[in-house]
């Protein structure tokens, strides 16, 4: 049986790893705060002592950590993935990072004779639990094919988008839309309520028109209720918009709306909402 590893058991990783375990796969988990391994061990996971140990023990190691610095630490750190990975084995980083970070990791993994795939995901906490994420993979095609049985447990769709970096770019492009929609929904509700309009009626009108979408249906009532229960931590959205702006600069593509929306997320972060849901962005308006 294929042996899988899962590194990073936060909101997303814990649920994605649980999907693999519930499908009956052999999974070895690791998390920096080892306490988060326990619920997965109860589902039948083995627990690894370090990313190095996990990478050495499995055929394919998946990772889902906070962002570029975390991905670099995981790969290049003492007792990191690179120190353990064997020729022919696979490393699939599913974290949202910038293309340059992903390429750096890909080159280092390839230099070890191992295979690398980036595979960030679209979808949040509930889709991770339900196995309905959209997986945006790019890189080693053979590793993609070998990862499909696992991807089928974690996602309802997986795409292979080309060479390493293309998956990261797709994720940033998509999250530019998400972050902007979240901010503008909050802004519209704030203005509407200030005008004396009922928030639920604003949402009703939006839901009946061409702008109806599942995200407004979930986040709209949360904004009205002041509910900031975390599905997607606000700090990660700020990071994604920051990486998007960096990509725009590299490609000489103006992103005036992204600039403005990012500034609102930066303000919300500074006001202490980083670990709350992106719906908390409205608090800073």
Mind telling me the catalytic residues?
Answer: 171
> By the 8 A CB rule, do 150 and 143 touch?
no
Using the rule CB under 6 A, is 125 a contact of ligand NAP? yes
User: Between 10 and 202, whose beta carbon lies closer to ligand NAP?
Assistant: 10
Using the rule CB under 6 A, is 236 a contact of ligand NAP? yes
Interacting residues with ligand NAP between 16 and 45 (CB under 6 A): 31-33, 36
Q: How far apart are CA 83 and CA 224, in angstroms?
A: 49
User: Between 65 and 176, whose beta carbon lies closer to ligand NAP?
Assistant: 65
Least separation in angstroms between residue 243's CB and ligand NAP is 9
Block residue for tokens 């993935």: 81
Q: How far apart are CA 176 and CA 196, in angstroms?
A: 30
Least separation in angstroms between residue 188's CB and ligand NAP is 22
- The neighbouring-strand residues paired with 29 are 6, 47
User: Between 206 and 241, whose beta carbon lies closer to ligand NAP?
Assistant: 241
User: Between 115 and 242, whose beta carbon lies closer to ligand NAP?
Assistant: 242
DSSP states of 81-124 as a string?
A: HHHHPPTT-EEEE-S---HHHHHHHHHHHHHTT-EEEE--EE--
Interacting residues with ligand NAP between 38 and 97 (CB under 6 A): 64-67, 69-70, 73-74, 95-96
Q: How far apart are CA 162 and CA 236, in angstroms?
A: 25
Q: How far apart are CA 276 and CA 127, in angstroms?
A: 18
Interface residue with ligand NAP, options 45, 81, 106, 121 (CB under 6 A): 121
Using the rule CB under 6 A, is 124 a contact of ligand NAP? yes
User: Between 202 and 232, whose beta carbon lies closer to ligand NAP?
Assistant: 232
Q: How far apart are CA 226 and CA 20, in angstroms?
A: 34
CA geometry: angle 272, 240, 112, nearest 5 deg: 120
Interface residue with ligand NAP, options 232, 274, 281, 282 (CB under 6 A): 232
* Residues in touch with ligand NAP (CB under 6 A): 8-13, 31-33, 36, 64-67, 69-70, 73-74, 95-96, 121, 124-125, 231-233, 236
């Amino acid at each position: 049986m294929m042996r899988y590893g899962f590194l990073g058991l936060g909101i997303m990783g814990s649920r994605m790893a649980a999907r693999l375990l519930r499908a009956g796969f052999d999974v070895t988990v690791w998390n920096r705060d080892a306490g988060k391994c326990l619920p997965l061990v109860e589902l039948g996971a083995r627990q690894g002592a370090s990313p190095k140990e996990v990478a050495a023990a499995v055929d394919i190691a998946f990772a889902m950590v906070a962002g570029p610095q975390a991905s670099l630490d995981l790969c290049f750190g003492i007792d990191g993935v690179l120190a353990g990975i064997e020729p022919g084995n696979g490393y699939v980083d599913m974290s949202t990072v910038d293309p340059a970070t992903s390429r750096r990791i890909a080159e280092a993994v390839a230099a070890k004779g191992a295979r690398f795939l980036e595979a960030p995901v679209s979808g949040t906490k509930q889709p991770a639990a339900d196995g309905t994420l959209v997986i945006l993979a790019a890189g080693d095609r053979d590793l993609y094919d070998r990862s499909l049985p696992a991807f089928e447990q974690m996602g309802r769709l997986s795409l292979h988008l080309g060479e390493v970096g293309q998956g990261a770019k797709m994720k940033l492009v998509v999250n530019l839309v998400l972050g902007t929609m979240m901010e503008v929904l909050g802004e519209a509700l704030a203005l509407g309520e200030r005008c004396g309009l009922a928030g639920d009626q604003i949402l009703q009108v939006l839901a009946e028109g061409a702008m109806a979408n599942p995200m407004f249906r979930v986040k709209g009532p949360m904004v009205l209720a002041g509910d900031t229960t975390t599905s997607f931590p606000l700090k990660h959205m700020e990071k994604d918009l920051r990486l998007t702006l960096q990509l725009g600069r590299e490609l000489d593509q103006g992103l005036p709306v992204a600039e403005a929306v990012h500034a609102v997320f930066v303000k919300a972060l500074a006001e202490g909402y980083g670990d709350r849901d992106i719906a908390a962005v409205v608090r800073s308006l």
